[in-house]
Amino acid sequence: MNSIPPPFSGNAPAGAEGFALGTRLPPANLEAEQALLGALLANNKAYERVAEFLEPEHFADAIHGRIYAAIRRRIEAGHLADAITLRHEFEHSGELAEVGGPAYLAQLLSAMVGIVNAGEYGRLIHDCWIRRQLIELGETVVNNAFGAKPELDGRQQIEAAEQSLFELASEKAGEGGPIGFDRALAQAIEVANAALKRGGGVSGLSSGLRDLDAKMGGLHKSDLLILAGRPGMGKTALATKIAFGAAKASLAEAEAAGGKPGVVAIFSLEMSADQLANRLLSEASRISGDRIRRGEISQREFDNFVAVSRELAQLPIVIDDTPAITLSALRTRCRRLKRTRGLAMVVVDYLQLMRPAVGTRPESRVLEISMITQGLKAIAKELSIPVLALSQLSRAVEQREDKRPQLADLRESGSIEQDADVVMFIYRDDYYLKQREPKLAAFADDAKFEAAMQRWQQDMERAHNRADLIIAKQRHGPTGTIPLFFEAEFTRFGDLDTVHTPPYGD
């Protein structure tokens, strides 16, 4: 293979590593670039081996990048790309001299490699580009630390660096792409086999709620689930119930397989870790959280409180109460948990309190929420875990006679509804019935008031200890309403059973 010096190279390193006057040059392999371009010009079929991952900007020499872009443009348009056709194209655009003239295009052919080696040379070029990006990223980190961006404190600089690293790692680099249909079928059979072995039709991670598992088949990997409701409906309580169910299922699976359980990570943006722990203990011990805070409990109740806390401490659950956490920080912490402890599920309470990645400035709140939901979906796919994110509903619910939430009630609903695999609403009729208690002054006589009061009491009795979980969207299954048991005193959810009330966690 002949080595041809490029005519107007902006940087001229001789290889992957070089030194000039004691200064290290950025990683590059110009011989590989020349050889690949020669192969493409000699045989356009070589393009198929690099098309998926190689971009013009990946070339260290800008001239080579422009030649590659022209080759790609012609091939993808169904035209021949060789030295003659490229000469004509560059002449027509007035760029022929800038790319070295016809002589350089012809000389590239002498540096060609066979079509079989084209992919390997393309990967060498891409690897050098990645390392140049890492050098640039490192310089940015150093400059920011020295004060290039005084508006960013140290922690924000870490998040910005992590975000840049993630974006570089996510850049298409030949990973992923289409898989064989036989492999896809094998994966589908594995999921069906898991459901068969577990029984009850649950192929994913159990939510701890019988009827929800029956409707959805459990919590599935790579799914983004949205749980929405108006304030006071019990979103956090239901989410933690599901998190506890998933943690118990993860522990049981690990014990059966003789391995370590994946943890369930709860990102609590609204409540502190101790407040959330106090609520969980109240639910599990069936002692009012208000009484616990005031110290109005007996010694027996306190002993039960401590005993329950020891049982719950065995569950693989971690709580992160960082307020206004950014998407990049959440992603980094999830990836770290996945690597160090194993990760079974993530719960975010709630997504409107999150911030997009450091350095991004969305034009509107809708776009900001869109970036967050897309990021959460990306985390679910990348880490192959279910992600449950809580969401507020707009005030439009309060303006209607029928208070049951709909998809249109989601705040910044377009992006949330689009990105989510499952959208669920929690609704309690008694919450609104309490506000409609008849007042004597609104009636002409006592008889009408008594009749209205009797109807209201009957409605309250029907709604007592009951909540509805409305599955408004499910990408892989049916929608519908699931009745749940609810105890307001302990903000506790469970399966609705007309015979008996099951204990917490069953």
Together in a domain, 158 and 222: no
The more confident residue out of 231 and 3 is: 231
The predicted model gives 183-199 an average pLDDT of: 63
pLDDT beyond 50 at 64 = yes
Together in a domain, 158 and 209: no
According to DSSP, residue 348 is labeled: E
- Would you say 386 and 223 are in contact if contact means Cβ atoms under 8 Å apart? yes
Together in a domain, 363 and 419: yes
Together in a domain, 246 and 381: yes
Together in a domain, 213 and 134: no
Distance of CA 50 to the CA centre of its chain: 29
Together in a domain, 269 and 400: yes
The more confident residue out of 172 and 339 is: 339
In degrees, rounded to 5, the angle at the alpha carbon of residue 404 between the alpha carbons of residues 399 and 407 is 90
User: Of 425, 459, 475, which one is at a domain's C-terminal end?
Assistant: 425
The more confident residue out of 436 and 200 is: 436
- Would you say 389 and 270 are in contact if contact means Cβ atoms under 8 Å apart? no
At 92-123, the pLDDT tens digits run 776 666 666 777 777 777 766 666 678 888 89
pLDDT at 14: 39
Asked if the structure places residue 112 within a domain, the reply is yes
Asked if the structure places residue 478 within a domain, the reply is no
Asked if the structure places residue 224 within a domain, the reply is yes
Q: Which two tokens stand for residue 353?
A: 């309190």
At 363-411, the pLDDT tens digits run 677 777 888 888 889 889 888 899 999 988 877 776 777 778 878 777 6
Together in a domain, 24 and 145: yes
Asked if the structure places residue 272 within a domain, the reply is yes
According to DSSP, residue 464 is labeled: T
- Report the relative pairing of strands 224-229 and 387-392 from DSSP bridges: parallel
Residue whose tokens read 């950014």: 326
Q: Residue 338 burial by CB count (10 A; 0-12/13-18/19+): exposed, middle or buried?
A: buried
Together in a domain, 220 and 347: yes
Asked if the structure places residue 49 within a domain, the reply is yes
pLDDT beyond 70 at 18 = no
pLDDT at 504: 41
pLDDT beyond 80 at 463 = no
Together in a domain, 148 and 253: no
The predicted model gives 444-469 an average pLDDT of: 75
At 346-372, the pLDDT tens digits run 999 878 888 776 556 666 777 778 888
Global confidence as pTM: 0.63
**Segments forming the whole domain that contains residue 120:** 19-170
At 473-490, the pLDDT tens digits run 888 888 888 888 887 767
Q: Which of 164-173, 246-255, 271-280 has the highest mean pLDDT?
A: 246-255
Together in a domain, 26 and 104: yes
Asked if the structure places residue 372 within a domain, the reply is yes
pLDDT at 386: 92
- Interatomic CA distance for residues 504 and 286, integer angstroms: 9
Q: What is the CATH number of the domain that holds 44?
A: 1.10.860.10
Together in a domain, 87 and 26: yes
At 311-332, the pLDDT tens digits run 788 888 888 888 888 887 788 7
The predicted model gives 216-238 an average pLDDT of: 86
pLDDT beyond 80 at 169 = no
Buried-exposed string 291-322: b where 16+ CB fall within 10 A, e elsewhere: ebeeeebeeebeebbeebeeebeebbbebbbe
The predicted model gives 421-432 an average pLDDT of: 84
User: Of 399, 425, 451, which one is at a domain's C-terminal end?
Assistant: 425
pLDDT at 500: 41
Asked if the structure places residue 365 within a domain, the reply is yes
According to DSSP, residue 443 is labeled: S
The domain tally of the chain equals 2
Together in a domain, 23 and 96: yes
Q: What is the CATH number of the domain that holds 307?
A: 3.40.50.300
Q: What are phi and psi of 307, to 5 degrees?
A: -65, -40
Asked if the structure places residue 221 within a domain, the reply is yes
* Average per-residue pLDDT for the chain: 77
User: Of 405, 425, 445, which one is at a domain's C-terminal end?
Assistant: 425
